[in-house]
């Protein structure tokens, strides 16, 4: 759960009552909405910045009465100030979502009206996604690169992680949270992965993925059992995402890959290549762990030729 804000620190720009309600909202969002710690931290920061803005506007520490009936003009002023400070559309959109969540929480307790926020338009978001890698480039990243590491087990580890990202479409955090017990279940042809919001899903596992992980386990000097963390750092601790990112930068240079070759691009490549091979969006949505199909539609961009091919094969008048 996200760290709650110290009430005494908050009194500078917020009343004790509003600070109490804000902490209650964060606890509710963690327990009832199952928001991730990173999302909670971002929402807390956004709401804090808004209350600081509101304090400067009203000339006193913001109180419940000041947020009870916010108008679109109040939000436009705040977002204009954030934009001047360099905040981009995604940051502004996330900030508005956090503030809406807080005000709706107060509304359920009869302390605020969220109608003004509902009438506030979110900034138009840019449709920028990591580019899918060609299959040949993605496959290069799944091969152990012993010549780039003095330690064979680390080269095998890196290859196993990349194979999971591309072969199963996992997020970095999902791959690095796997345990030996979860990998043992791959003998059934699938593994259970815990994604965003603590939601679990079954993901099919290819024999090549199992082989890459088993090769890593055979070479790894650390004993791992049961629910231990599977992927280890050089000193035996949990492998961190930053190390995977750094490894990818080294691999890009060594293999002559473009800057678009990132760990997340392997997940995107997984979905894009499945779609190009005839996979349907609903299935890909389940494999990626997306809550809504619209996210999958944006994430797995379909080219015009692919759409026309489907049309010509499926439409009775084509």
Give the active site residue among 53, 171, 232, 273: 171
Q: Which range is least confidently modeled, 3-12, 32-41, 51-60, 165-174?
A: 3-12
Express each pLDDT in 69-110 by its tens digit. 888 888 888 888 888 888 888 888 888 889 999 999 999 999
Question: Is residue 90 flagged as an active site residue?
Answer: no
Question: Is residue 147 flagged as an active site residue?
Answer: no
By the 10 Å C-beta count (0-12 exposed, 13-18 middle, 19+ buried), 121 is classed as exposed
Q: Which CATH architecture has domain 7-118?
A: Orthogonal Bundle (1.10)
Residue 133 confidence (pLDDT): 87
Residue 1 confidence (pLDDT): 43
By the 10 Å C-beta count (0-12 exposed, 13-18 middle, 19+ buried), 79 is classed as buried
Q: In whole angstroms, what is the distance from residue 230 CA to residue 180 CA? A: 6
Q: What percent of the chain has pLDDT over 70?
A: 88
Question: Average pLDDT in the 217-246 region?
Answer: 92
Express each pLDDT in 233-286 by its tens digit. 999 999 999 999 999 999 999 889 988 899 988 988 888 888 777 777 788 788
Question: Is residue 57 flagged as an active site residue?
Answer: no
Q: Which of 113, 116, 166, 118 is nearest to 139 (CA)?
A: 166
Torsion-angle region of 59 (φ positive above 0: left; ψ -120 to 50: alpha; else: beta): left
Question: Is residue 299 flagged as an active site residue?
Answer: yes
* In the chain, where the domains are located: 7-118, 135-312
Question: Is residue 166 flagged as an active site residue?
Answer: no
Residue 89 confidence (pLDDT): 86
| Average confidence score pLDDT of the chain | 84
Length of the chain measured in residues: 318
CA 92 to chain CA centroid, Å, is 17
Q: 283 or 222: whose pLDDT is higher?
A: 222
Question: Average pLDDT in the 218-238 region?
Answer: 92
Q: Which range is least confidently modeled, 43-57, 155-169, 286-300?
A: 286-300
Beta carbons within 8 Å of 136's beta carbon, 6+ residues apart:
none
Q: 198 or 168: whose pLDDT is higher?
A: 168
State both tokens at 263: 């760990």
Give the active site residue among 290, 306, 311, 317: 290
pTM for this predicted structure: 0.61
Give the active site residue among 22, 82, 267, 268: 267
Residue 90 confidence (pLDDT): 84
Q: In whole angstroms, what is the distance from residue 205 CA to residue 203 CA? A: 6
Q: 307 or 266: whose pLDDT is higher?
A: 266
Residue 210 confidence (pLDDT): 92
Give the active site residue among 13, 43, 166, 299: 299
Give the active site residue among 57, 196, 201, 252: 196
| Fold of the 135-312 domain | hpI Integrase; Chain A (1.10.443)
Question: Average pLDDT in the 39-60 region?
Answer: 90
Q: In whole angstroms, what is the distance from residue 174 CA to residue 95 CA? A: 26
Q: How confident is the model at residue 147 (pLDDT cuts 50, 70, 90)?
A: confident
Cα–Cα separations (whole angstroms), residue 58 to 113, 119, 246: 19, 22, 47
Question: Is residue 315 flagged as an active site residue?
Answer: no
Residue 317 confidence (pLDDT): 67
């Amino acid at each position: 759960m996200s760290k709650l804000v110290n009430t005494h620190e908050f009194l500078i720009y917020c009343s004790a009552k509003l600070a109490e309600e804000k902490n209650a909202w964060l606890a509710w969002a963690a327990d009832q909405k199952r928001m991730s710690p990173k999302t909670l931290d971002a929402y807390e920061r956004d709401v804090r910045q808004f209350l600081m803005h509101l304090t400067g506007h009203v000339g006193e520490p913001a109180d419940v009465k000041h947020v009870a009936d916010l108008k679109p003009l109040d939000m436009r002023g705040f977002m204009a100030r954030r934009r001047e400070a360099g905040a981009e559309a995604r940051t502004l959109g996330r900030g508005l979502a956090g503030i809406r969540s807080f005000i709706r929480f107060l509304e359920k307790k009869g302390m605020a009206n969220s109608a003004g926020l509902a009438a506030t338009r979110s900034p138009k978001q840019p449709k920028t996604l990591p580019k899918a890698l060609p299959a040949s480039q993605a496959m290069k990243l799944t091969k152990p690169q012993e010549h780039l590491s003095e330690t064979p087990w680390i080269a095998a580890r890196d290859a196993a992680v990349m194979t999971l990202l591309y072969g199963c479409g996992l997020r970095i955090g999902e791959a690095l949270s796997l345990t030996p017990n979860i990998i043992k279940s791959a003998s059934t042809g699938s593994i259970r992965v815990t994604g965003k919001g603590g939601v679990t899903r079954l993901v099919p596992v290819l024999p090549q993925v199992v082989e890459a992980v088993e090769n890593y386990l055979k070479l790894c000097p650390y004993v791992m059992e049961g629910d231990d963390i599977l992927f280890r750092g050089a000193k035996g601790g949990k492998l961190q995402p930053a190390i995977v990112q750094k490894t990818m930068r080294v691999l890009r240079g060594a293999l002559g890959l473009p800057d678009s070759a990132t760990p997340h691009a392997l997940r995107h490549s997984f979905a894009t290549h499945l779609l190009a091979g005839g996979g349907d969006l609903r299935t890909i949505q389940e494999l990626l762990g997306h809550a809504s199909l619209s996210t999958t539609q944006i994430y797995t961009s379909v080219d015009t030729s692919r759409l026309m091919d489907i049309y010509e094969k499926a439409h009775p008048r084509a």
